């Protein structure tokens, strides 16, 4: 995890591994062809992937899937890996895109839903145990059928 306070004060020394990379002389831009198509120029996809993956790790360490931006970062990473696979013709990047889509789906699940799903599974296991034991004996059935008497106050 990065120390987000490193380098924000003028008199502080920043270690080499924490320095921001210098910007390239080629600035990212789009070339419009006029027929509705555009071409991206000057984008460093590897640097974008590295930055977004570091950002995702920071978010997961500082809030987990409760952070609403996790799903958006995962969607962006999936798109970048999909594009990289198409450009580099390497199928392993499609696997990474699918991993981030699965992570995005996990981030979309509501914690209450997960809690209720666990409770539902527990009740179903109880039902299976009850059915495996069979019906109650006649003595227990008689006790279960009795109505409790009201207390007189």
pLDDT tens, 97-126? 999 998 888 887 777 777 888 899 999 898
Q: How far is CA 44 from the centre of its chain?
A: 24
Mean pLDDT of the region 13-18:
64
* Band of pLDDT at residue 23, cut at 50, 70 and 90: low
Distant-in-sequence, close-in-space partners of 131: CB < 8 Å, separation ≥ 6: none
Strand partners, 29: 41
Q: pLDDT > 90: what percent of the chain?
A: 20
Mean pLDDT of the region 24-33:
77
* pLDDT score of 45: 84
Asked whether 84 and 93 are in contact (CB, 8 A), the reply is yes
1, pLDDT greater than 60: no
* Band of pLDDT at residue 79, cut at 50, 70 and 90: very high
Question: How many Cβ atoms are within 10 Å of 70's Cβ, its own excluded?
Answer: 21
Cα separation, 72 vs 77, whole angstroms? 9
pLDDT tens, 38-76? 887 877 888 889 989 999 999 888 888 878 888 899 999
- Residue 29: phi and psi, rounded to 5, are -160, 175
Cα separation, 114 vs 106, whole angstroms? 10
């Amino acid at each position: 995890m990065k120390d987000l306070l490193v380098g924000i004060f003028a008199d502080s020394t920043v270690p080499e591994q924490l320095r921001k990379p210098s910007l390239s002389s080629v600035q990212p831009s789009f070339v419009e062809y006029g027929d509705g198509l555009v071409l991206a120029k000057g984008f460093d996809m590897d640097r974008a992937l590295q930055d977004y993956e570091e950002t995702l790790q920071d978010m997961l360490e500082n809030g987990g899937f409760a952070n609403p931006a996790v799903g958006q970062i995962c969607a962006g990473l999936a798109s970048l890996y999909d594009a990289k696979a198409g450009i580099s013709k390497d199928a392993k990047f499609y696997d990474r895109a699918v991993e981030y889509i699965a992570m995005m789906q996990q981030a979309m699940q509501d914690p209450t839903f997960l809690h209720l799903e666990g409770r539902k599974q527990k009740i179903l296991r109880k039902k299976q145990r009850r059915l495996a034991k069979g019906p109650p004996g006649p003595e227990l059935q008689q006790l279960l059928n009795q109505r409790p008497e009201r207390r007189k106050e």
